[in-house]
Structure 1
Amino acid sequence: MASNLTTLRNLLLLTLALLAGIVTAYILSPQSGSPGQPMLKTLGGDFTLQGVDGDVSLHDFKGKVVLIYFGYTHCPDVCPTSLAVISQAMKNLDPDQREQVQPIFISVDPDRDTPEKLAEYSAFFYPSIIGVTGSREKIDQTVSQYGAFYRIVDMKDSAMGYAVDHSSRIYLINKQGELSSTVAHGTPPEKLETEIKALL
């Protein structure tokens, strides 16, 4: 009897492991764990946040390819690296192609990132990047829509007071306003350039 129970338990564990593998393969694509098409169809959507010149909505850029990145201006390394990748990819495009692309930097740190600060910070990397923020509620809603995440990390012994851990992906929105693909942190600018051109 004990032997039969052990066998059944092992079969159950094996079945669960196989199911987990199937689900993971279904959700994730082969490239660096990017969300696969079935998952992408459930993500994305319109939003309205605040830029230095007023409201900024995704639908404002219908007919353009939109690049979205979630981060914050006090980020020590991850955000500057990703924004530099966006900047270089934009520079690699020819002028006509650049006109068809709109990068948006969404802050997950509204307590420190004002629209004015975001405008200055974003322009440092590339002139056409629009920095936006909003209420915590609106930011959380947008983060959730895109399957991103962030969390506040207290730093009591630091003058910063706190840091923000966050996901680091570039979200590519096609000209119809739909989430088309994501690019993982560390992807070279040339790869992002290729992804952008595929949507032009």
Structure 2
Amino acid sequence: MNKTITLILAFSLTLFTACYEHFPLKQDVSRTQNKFLNQDSIEVKFPDLVKDKITLMAMVYTHCPDICPMTTHNMQLVESKLSEKELDNVRFVVISFDPNRDTPAVLKKFAEIRDIVFDRWSFLSGDERNTKEVMLKFDVKAVPADSSYDAEGNLSYYIVHTDRISLIDQDGVLRKNYVGSIAEINEILEDLKYLMK
């Protein structure tokens, strides 16, 4: 009898641990809506624009020399490995934490250079308040670092920032974060397919 109880407890603990490891987060990020302009300068609300969709979201800036392009590329790799049917359930969102330089037109060019099709992607730029609220909600840090002036006198600066892709489920709940620039693509695919069940 004791062996049976022990086995049941061990099995239950395994199930609980597996679920926890699969999705370690359960944070509702849909309660407040933040206003942004998308790549076409159309006002949208996030996360309302991805309602009922599974979302991969990253915060980047276009002047980033390494992490942000790599993060965006990893999101593209995920997109490329999903079937058309699976892609019907998924949206990709990129929000700039450098809205002073990353206007909608700049974000659109950033996407077009990478051959991103906007059917499933939104590139968002907002004012300081909305941007900071989303950064706080997703615990993203961004601190200006080295700065200089170019020959025309324009200020140029880099930003030290959180390297992250966030997975949001169909109910607007943040379920998992990945290190964006070195994300394991198969892990993200597995998690997306788990949410599609």
Q: Contact 1:86–1:192 (CA<8 Å) still a contact in 2?
A: no
Instruction: Give the aligned residue type for 1:182.
Output: N
* SS in structure 1 at match of 2:99: coil
Following the alignment from structure 2 to structure 1, what is the Cα–Cα distance between the partners of residues 51 and 130?
21
Greater radius of gyration (CA) = 1
Structure 1: segments with no counterpart, 5+ residues: 1-28
- Partner SS for 1:152: strand
SS at match of 1:164: strand
Q: Which amino acid aligns with 2:129?
A: E
Please tell me the residue identity of whatever aligns with 2:80.
K
Instruction: Evaluate the alpha carbon distance shift between residue 197 and residue 47 of structure 1 in structure 2; reply closer, same or farther with a 3 A threshold.
Output: farther
Matched, 1:56 2:52: no
Correspondence for 2:191: 195
The partner residue of 1:146 within 128, 138, 160 is 138
Can you give the 5+ residue segments of structure 2 that lack an aligned partner in the other structure? 1-19
Deviation of 1:119 after TM superposition, in Å, equals: 1.8
TM-score by length of 1: 0.75
Whether contact under 8 Å (1:152, 1:162) holds in the other structure is yes
3-state SS of paired residue (1:156): strand
SS at match of 2:64: coil
Structure 1 position 143, deviation (Å)? 0.3
Amino acid at match of 2:183: T
Indicate if the aligned counterparts of 2:54 and 2:169 stay in contact, CA closer than 8 A: yes
The equivalent residue for 1:86 is: 75
Q: Which residue of 1 aligns with 2:34?
A: 47
Q: 2:168 pairs with 161, 167, 173, which one?
A: 173
Aligned residue in 2 for 1:132? 124
Scaled by the length of structure 2, what TM-score is found?
0.76
Q: For residues 134-192 of structure 1, give each alpha carbon's deviation from its aligned partner in whole angstroms, at most 9, with x where no partner exists.
A: 11111011100111110112422667621111101111111111111111231222222
Aligned sequence identity (%):
22
Residues paired across the two proteins, number? 166
Q: What letter is aligned with 1:47?
A: N
Q: Which amino acid aligns with 2:133?
A: Q
- Secondary structure at 2:166's aligned position in 1? strand
Cα distance in 1 for residues equivalent to 2:21 and 2:170: 25
C-alpha contact 2:165 2:178 (8 A) present in aligned 1: yes
Letter in 1 for 2:174: L
RMSD over aligned Cα atoms = 2.2
2: CA distance between counterparts of 1:172 and 1:82?
A: 13
Q: Is the 8 A contact 2:24 2:175 kept in 1?
A: no
